[in-house]
Amino acid sequence: MISWYVTQASSYAADVDDLFLLIALIVGAFFLAAEFVLFWLIVKFRARPGVKARYVTGEKTSETKWVSYPHYLVLVFDIILVAAALRVWNDVKIDLPPAEERVRIIAQQWAWTFVHAGPDGRLDTADDIRTVNVLNLQVNRLYHFELHSKDTLHSFSVPAFRLKQDAVPGRAIVGWFRPTVTGEFDIQCAELCGIGHGLMPARVRIRSAAAQAAWMETAPRMPQLAAVTPAVSNTRAER
């Protein structure tokens, strides 16, 4: 249902959406059941002429089961939700499938710089392509991103990928995504990072292999931006 509003544009987007749906269904069922019982009790024990109120301590087993049994049920569903969430978390954040290409993302107050590998498919070579506020990707290609921050905390958020990752100064945080549809989608900074936080939106453009190759031919190399690579350019897979 979330995909009615935000396109699923990465290989794991559907898994994240399914998790949200599972949570909504379980929590929704408990909500409806609780409201049903509440209103049923309100009607059943409403004031009636000639009927005196009873004081119920709620200490007998026949009474406490109305609290303890639903409580056990909540715990069972908690375990189901945690297991489902860990499966998705592991897939998105812990597993690192082999990369076909690497892209460097540098956040700063208040813009994003993206360093693309260029036609040779390797970073830190002469044909690297640097862009500001537009990330250029090829559909169905598995990317490792290497996320840096030049100044303060930022967060790289791509709603269509269902991906959000904090950028921390001094660290190179590695993660992955595989775009699955062509098109153009939003990138946001999802960490309040100063007065211009709202002014650092960016876009991700996902193209077919042929269109991406054509873009690489014409993309300006912007060598003047070479200095934006942070001094801490270690490529350790920190997370």
Residues forming contacts to Cu ion in the complex (CB under 5 A) are 154, 189, 193
CB of 201 to Cu ion, least distance (A): 10
Residue with Cβ nearer Cu ion (148 or 154): 154
Residues 6+ apart with CB under 8 A from 148: 104, 105, 106, 107, 167, 171, 172, 173, 229, 230, 232, 233
Examine residue 66 and say whether the peptide bond preceding it is cis (omega within 30 degrees of 0).
no
CB of 195 to Cu ion, least distance (A): 11
CB of 225 to Cu ion, least distance (A): 18
Closest C-alpha among 181, 189, 175 to residue 97: 175
Task: Name residue, tokens 């200095």.
Answer: 227
Residue with Cβ nearer Cu ion (130 or 154): 154
Residue with Cβ nearer Cu ion (147 or 189): 189
Residue with Cβ nearer Cu ion (103 or 187): 187
CA–CA distance, 225 with 184 (Å, rounded to integer)? 24
CB of 135 to Cu ion, least distance (A): 15
